[in-house]
Amino acid sequence: MNAAYLIKQEAYRLGFSYIGISKAAFLEDEAPRLDDWLQRHYNGQMSYMANHFDKRLDPRLLVEGAKSVVSLLYNYYTPHTQTDPSAPKISRYAYGVDYHFVVKNKLKELLHFIQTTIGEVGGRCFVDSAPVMERAWAKKSGIGWIGKNSLLITPKSGSFFFLAELIIDLDLPPDSPIKDYCGTCTRCIDACPTNAILPNKTVDGSRCISYFTIELKEAIPNNMAGMFDNWMFGCDTCQTVCPWNRFATPHNEPQFNPHPNLLNMTAKEWTEITEDIFNTLFKNSAVKRTKFAGLKRNIAFLNPNKSSF
């Protein structure tokens, strides 16, 4: 109990908003759901989602001797949005420095703290970069429930969080899951521009705007024209309409603040964006994942008659 308390207190000191613990074991309930999701090809061209099936379900295959999964949430919410209502939109999570770097460094500090304060503990840090079912572990640890949009929702702060995990060989007392508070609400399902949110808390990833604007490397299918609600990188629609996000509070992470010019870019400036401006705006940003050509493709898809390649 003392070790768990020390770990949680240090995590809060490092800036994490929520932390929960679960036993490292096989995710029995998730196995058939994952298999069905893949069989229906909801992963689209994200072939990596079909890799390491066993490791996704059992953290002991990722970390030898794993005893505990420590799940953590790091806030990225900001009330600030783009000033030009006609400009192509970018998801809030990509405003600042790539979260992989920011959160991973925090996790490494936490693991170092555990090893120097508690004793010889083996483990690994994970931030959306390995076959770990992050939302399932966060749910098991009691820091939230999985909403109908398949995102983790916390009852006090909503869903604008990055998820992270420490899988360690230290045996810690597990926390208990909490109730699902979505109720009969269907706002996220009703609002999804591409009808990607299906019943039973399932998202058809191959229809999600984030998939098309980030993951898909080839041309966006013509049958999706006019359905993107002006999103050029990612999509926040299902989070914006979620009633639980009325409790979201602004983050305190300076590295997540956008470049001073980012939110003031006009629709015309986005259409005429050059590679130099792209590199300036998105230095160390998650937007680099789609590359300059990918962002231009997305903008052109939104405004096929105005883009200037």
Annotated catalytic residues are: 128
Alpha-carbon distance 93 to 239, whole Å?
12
E strands in the chain = 18-23, 68-75, 89-90, 123-126, 145-146, 152-153, 161-168, 197-198, 202-203, 231-233
Alpha-carbon distance 147 to 180, whole Å?
8
Among 207, 195, 208, 223, residue whose Cα is nearest residue 301:
223
Alpha-carbon distance 22 to 173, whole Å?
8
199: exposed, middle or buried (C-beta count within 10 Å: 0-12, 13-18, 19+)? Answer: exposed
